[in-house]
Homo-oligomer: A and B are copies of this chain.
Amino acid sequence: MTSAVTTIKDVAALAGVSPATASRVLSGNPATSKESRERVVAAASELDFHPNAQARALRSTRTNVIGLLLSDVRNPFFADLAHAAEQAALAEGFVTLLGNANENMEQQDRYLDTFISQRVDGVIAAPQGEGSSSLQSLLDRGVPTVFVDRTVDGINVPSVTTDSARGIRQAVEHLLGQGHTRVGYIAGPQTTSTGRERLRSFSAAAQEAGLSTDPDLTYFGDFRSASGSAGAQQLLALPEPPTALLAADSPMAVGALATLNSMGIRIGQDMAVIAFDDIEWFSLLETPLTVISNDVEAMGRASVRLLLDVIGGGRPESIVLPSELIVRASSAGPHH
């Protein structure tokens, strides 16, 4: 390990040109001769030169880093989203700083502050809450930002979201068609736009379809599996329990399934179950799960595309992707 780090000066010296020329060659500036291009490239590879990204960013005010703020990569939905976004970013020459907010406001703000300090070129966020001062700082500084999956009321940045109303309406109508009238809803946290929108859509659809609007049929979870278990337990303990359950995301659905299994309640027979988000293995369950699916891959790619547009100075329109009910065996009629 040679203690001295190789800098662009070393490369320039070896190539017999000035640092300015070496820099031009290495950063693709066209104002260079073929001769110096060859010499510099050879020298750089000879010295195994890796330009210092900090120095470069300091002067040029571009970092080629984007910040990706999610709730939790352990949720398959976000894992897919993270993978799609990261791969799309990489293809455009960006690397990804990952932040898991864990549905926690403080951690979200901590990451947003870090993104500001890191001077990331842009941020893709699945935000939560309302009055985040860090989010406001980010926008005040003009850091290019797009929302993905979720939005924040009153903050106008381009977003890629899912139209959950459509899938939820289909689900409600499907359940009604199967003879269900009391449907338990395991809601997401009302601090997220998706949590709110899905609950609103469900309530509206339930009312229109003539399902019971008993408020006890709604349980407020937090998008994590433990709350799905708790929700299922509470709903089943009602004097007049539901005959069907709809969970607002897949971890809560998993939690609910675990509860049902452990109570010996047969899914699709004693209890219909529908989950939001289609996860690969949901179709492998004893009773394949009926789901409201959306295209996560497309969402991840679209968010990067939008962000690049914003970075480039554009003002792209927000994108709303469709959701759709996929009927499998878990949503059969009530047991008689």
Contact = CB atoms under 8 A, between A and B. Distances in A.
Interface of A: 1, 5, 48, 50-55, 57-58, 63, 65, 68, 72-74, 76, 79-80, 82-83, 86-87, 90, 95-100, 102, 107, 110-111, 113-114, 116-119, 137, 140-142, 225, 254, 257-258, 261, 280-281, 283-287
Given A74-B79, A225-B280, A55 B53 contact: no
A76 B114 CA distance: 27
Contacts of A5: 141
Q: Name the 7 nearest CB pairs between A and B, nearest first.
A: A286-B286, A98-B98, A50-B116, A54-B57, A54-B58, A54-B54, A53-B117
Given A57-B54, A119-B54, A100 B73 contact: no
B58 A83 contact: no
A87 B110 CA distance: 12
A117 B50 CA distance: 5
Nearest to A113: B50
Given A1-B141, A87-B100, A140-B1, A119 B53 contact: yes
A191 to B, nearest CB: 20
A40 B320 CA distance: 45
Which label, helix, strand, loop or mixed, suits the secondary structure of the A interface?
helix
A63 B73 contact: no
A97 to B, nearest CB: 6
Contacts of A57: 54
A97 B63 CA distance: 13
Nearest to A93: B114
29 contacts: A1-B140, A1-B141, A50-B116, A50-B117, A52-B117, A53-B54, A53-B118, A54-B57, A54-B58, A54-B63, A55-B58, A58-B58, A65-B118, A73-B82, A74-B76, A74-B79, A74-B83, A76-B76, A76-B79, A79-B79, A86-B99, A95-B114, A95-B118, A97-B97, A98-B98, A254-B284, A257-B281, A258-B283, A284-B285
